[in-house]
A and B are shown apart, each in its own frame.
Chain A
Amino acid sequence: ETGVTQTPRHLVMGMTNKKSLKCEQHLGHNAMYWYKQSAKKPLELMFVYNFKEQTENNSVPSRFSPECPNSSHLFLHLHTLQPEDSALYLCASSQDGGNYGYTFGSGTRLTVV
C-alpha cells in the first residue's frame, strides 16, 4: 500500500446522519490536510495538521470535525450536513519543510440528501 488512501470513495448521507471520512498515508509525511472541491471553485483548504497538531482551521463550520490520531491517519467526522456540503473531499499529505509537493488521495465524493 503506497501513497494516500481515502475511504470511502463515494458516500451518500442524509442531513441527520453521522459519518466519517478516512485518510491514510504511507509516505512518512508529517503534515496532512483536508481540502474541499466544489464545482467550478478553487480547492478550499479546510484543516491542516502538522505532527498530529491542528495548525489551521479555515473557518470551517463545526458540523465538520477533524481528528488526527497519529501522523499517518486523518479523519473527517460529519454531522448534520447540508446539501450545499456535497462536494469532493480531498486529503493530502506533505513533508513539512519540503518542496511543498503535496500528495493527494483520490477523494471522497460526498452527496448530502
Chain B
Amino acid sequence: DQQVKQNSPSLSVQEGRISILNCDYTNSMFDYFLWYKKYPAEGPTFLISISSIKDKNEDGRFTVFLNKSAKHLSLHIVPSQPGDSAVYFCAAVSGGYNKLIFGAGTRLAVHP
C-alpha cells in the first residue's frame, strides 16, 4: 500500500507557463514533505520542502502548497523552463525519523 502517491506519471507544459505537480498521501502522521528532482543518469536532488505546520513555502520559481485536510500537496513551477524537464518525486517523513517515503514520480516535459 503506497503511502505517497503521484497519480500523474507524466506532464507536458509549454515554456513560460505554469507546471503543477500533485502528490497525495495517506499517513496523517507525516510531518515533513519534500520534492526532489531527477535528471537521467543522475541521483535525485533536493528541491524544496514544507513542514506540516505550514501551508505554503516559496523559493524562487518553485512553490509548494500543502492541504492537510485533503492530504494533498502540490509543486508549482512558474514560469516553466526547458531545463525543468525532469522526473519530480514527492517524499514524506514522520516523527523525526530519517526515513523518506517516496512517490513514483512525475515526468515533466517543458517544450518551447
SS class, residues of chain B in contact with chain A: loop
Map CB proximity to A onto B79-104 as digits: 1 under 8 Å, 0 otherwise. Answer: 00000000001000100101111111
Residues of B within 8 A of A99 (CB): 32, 49
User: Which residues does chain A contribute within 8 Å of B46, judged by CB atoms?
Assistant: 101-103
Cβ-neighbour of A43 out of B41, B98, B102 (below 8 A): B102
Complex partner residue of B32 from A42, A97, A100, CB under 8 angstroms: A100
Find chain A residues with CB under 8 A from B4 CB.
Answer: 42
Contact B98 A31 (CB under 8 A): yes
* Selected contact of A45 from candidates B96, B101, B104, CB within 8 Å: B101
Asked whether A100 and B43 contact (CB < 8 A) given A41-B104, A48-B99, A94-B98, the answer is no
**Inter-subunit contact A96/B105 (CB<8 Å):** no
Inter-subunit contact B99/A45 (CB<8 Å) = yes
Nearest-CB distance from B29 to chain A (Å)? 14
Query: Is there an interface contact between B44 and A104, defined as CB atoms closer than 8 Å?
Result: yes
Can you list, as one digit per residue, whether each of A50-76 has a CB less than 8 Å from chain B (1) or not (0)? Answer: 100000100000000000000000000
Which range holds the interface residue count of chain A? 20 to 34
Give 20 new A-B contacts, CB below 8 A, not counting A42-B101, A98-B98.
Answer: A4-B43, A6-B43, A35-B102, A40-B104, A41-B104, A42-B4, A42-B103, A45-B99, A90-B44, A97-B98, A100-B93, A100-B100, A101-B34, A101-B46, A102-B100, A103-B46, A104-B43, A104-B44, A104-B45, A107-B43
The 17 listed contacts between A and B (C-beta, < 8 Å) are A31-B98, A35-B102, A42-B102, A42-B103, A42-B105, A48-B98, A94-B98, A99-B32, A100-B49, A100-B93, A100-B98, A102-B44, A102-B46, A104-B36, A104-B44, A106-B41, A107-B42
